[in-house]
Amino acid sequence: MRKDISVPQQTKAILDKYGFTFKKSLGQNFLIDKNILTNIVAQAELTEESGAIEIGPGIGALTEHIARNAKKVVAFEIDQRLLPILQDTLSPYGNTEVIHSDILKADVKAVIEEKFEKGQDIMVVANLPYYVTTPIIMKLLTENLPIRGIVCMIQKEVADRLAAKPGTKDYNSLSIAVQYYATAETVIKVPKTVFVPQPNVDSSVIRLILRDEPAVKVKDEAFFFEVVRGSFAQRRKTLWNNLLSGVIPKERKADLETVLNEIGIDPKRRGETLTVEEFGKLSDALLHLVK
C-alpha cells in the first residue's frame, strides 16, 4: 500500500522527484503529521455526501485526507509548478479536482454551482498561506456562498483574534467582522515542527460555522463596520475619542453624547469592551448623525 503523502520520507521523495523548491512569497509550508491532518478533517464533520473546497493543496497531504471523507473535493492552487505533482499524488482519488487559480480572484460561487450538487453540504478545509489568511477568510464569509463553514489552519495569533471574546487583549475589529457572519472556535493548536519548511510561528486550526443570519440585525451594514473599525482606530483611546476622531463629525459632539446616554453606553469605555450586539445598537443609534 502506498504511504500517505504526509509521511516525512514520502513528502521528501515527492519533492525530490519533481525538484520542487519552496517559494517564500507564496507562504508554502507543507504538513507532515498524519494525526493532525486526520484531526483537521474530523473537525469539518464531513459525510460521504459532503463537498469540500481546499485552498493551497501543496502536494496534496491534506487533500488526500479530505478525499477519503468527502464525496467531492475541489482545490484551488495558485502555483503552476504544483499542478503536475498533484496530478500524480492525487491520482488514486477520482473525487478530487484541482483548479489553477488564485482564490482571491476566483468566482467561488460559480465554481460551487458548476462542481457541486445543488444543496450539497459544503465545507472549506484548508491549510491557508499565512500572508493572505484574513482576505481569504473575509472573502469566503462575505460572498454569500452556499457553504456550511470553514476549518482552516492559520497563524495562532490570527486564530486567537478571530475567536476572541470582548474585553480580552486579542479582541479587535477583525474578531467582530468574523463573528458577525460566523461562530468562531479554535479547535487544535499546532506546533511549528509539523511543517516543512518550519514556519517561524505556531499555528492553530479554527472552525468557523456560518450563521443563518448575521449575529446582529443592523440598519446599515457598511456603517456598522465603519463604527467598529473607528472604535478600534486607536486602542488606548476611549470610545468617545475614537468616534470623534474619524466617524462622527466634531460639530455633532453634543448629539453623540445624547445618543450614548440614550442607549446606555458609557463614552469612557474602550472599543474592545463592546459586544457585537452593543456595536449593532451603537451603529443604528449613530446613523442619523452622519446621513
Q: Which residues are annotated as a binding site for S-adenosyl-L-methionine?
A: 29, 31, 56, 77, 102, 127
Residue 186, CB-side half-sphere exposure with 13 Å CA sphere = 18
From the list 130, 164, 147, the residue with the least C-alpha distance to 232 is: 164
Q: Which CATH superfamily is domain 8-210 in?
A: Vaccinia Virus protein VP39 (3.40.50.150)
pLDDT over threshold 70, residue 61: yes
The yes or no reply on domain 221-290 and CATH 1.10.8.100 is: yes
DSSP codes of every residue in 106-140: S-HHHHHHHHS-TT--EEEEEE--GGGHHHHHHHH
* 239 vs 272: CA distance, rounded Å: 9
Question: pLDDT at position 1, please?
Answer: 67
**In this predicted model, what pLDDT tens digit does every residue of 21-33 receive, in sequence order?**
998 888 889 999 9
Pair type for strands 51-55 and 72-77: parallel
Residue 198, judged by CB atoms within 10 A of its CB (0-12, 13-18, 19+), counts as: exposed
- The pLDDT-based confidence of 108 (bands split at 50, 70, 90) is very high
pLDDT for 224-263, tens place per residue? 999 999 999 998 999 999 999 999 999 999 999 999 999 9
Please report the pLDDT score of residue 237 as a whole number. 95
Mean pLDDT, rounded, for 89-102: 98
Q: What pTM was computed for the model?
A: 0.95
Look at residue 37 in the predicted model and tell me its pLDDT: 97
Residue type at 6?
A: S
Q: In the predicted model, what is the mean pLDDT of residues 70-77?
A: 98
CB 218 within 8 A of CB 224: yes
| Per-residue model confidence (pLDDT) at position 27 | 82
Please state the residue numbers annotated as binding site: 29, 31, 56, 77, 102, 127
Q: Which of 273, 257, 147, 166 is nearest to 207 (CA)?
A: 147
Average pLDDT, integer, range 199-203: 92
Residue 248 CB neighbours (<10 A): 20
Residues 163-176 have a mean pLDDT of 97
Compute the mean pLDDT over every residue in the chain, rounded to the nearest whole number: 96
Give 118-152 pLDDT, tens digit per residue.
999 999 999 998 889 999 999 999 999 999 999 99
Mean pLDDT confidence for 81-100: 98
Instruction: Give the per-residue pLDDT at 195.
Output: 94
Check pLDDT > 90 for residue 284.
Answer: yes
95/1: higher pLDDT:
95
Q: Of 44, 179, 38, 63, nearest to 121 (Cα)?
A: 44
Q: How far apart are CA 41 and CA 194, in angstroms?
A: 16
**CA–CA gap between residue 75 and residue 279 (Å, rounded):** 36
What's the pLDDT tens digit per position in 224-234?
A: 999 999 999 99
Could you say which DSSP state residue 248 is in? S
Q: Where are the domains of the chain?
A: 8-210, 221-290
| Backbone dihedral region for residue 265 (phi beyond 0: left; psi -120 to 50: alpha; all else: beta) | beta
Question: One fold for both 8-210 and 221-290?
Answer: no
- Distance CA(238)–CA(156), nearest Å, equals 28
Binned at pLDDT 50, 70 and 90, residue 66 comes out as: very high
For residue 149, the model assigns a pLDDT of: 98
pLDDT given for residue 235 in this prediction: 87
pLDDT in tens, 7-58: 999 999 999 999 999 988 888 899 999 999 999 999 999 999 999 999 999 9
Examine the pLDDT at 2 and tell me if it is beyond 80. no
The answer for residues whose C-beta is within 8 angstroms of residue 118's C-beta and 6 or more apart is: none
The burial class, CB within 10 Å (0-12 / 13-18 / 19+), for 114 is: exposed
Would you state the pLDDT for residue 291?
80
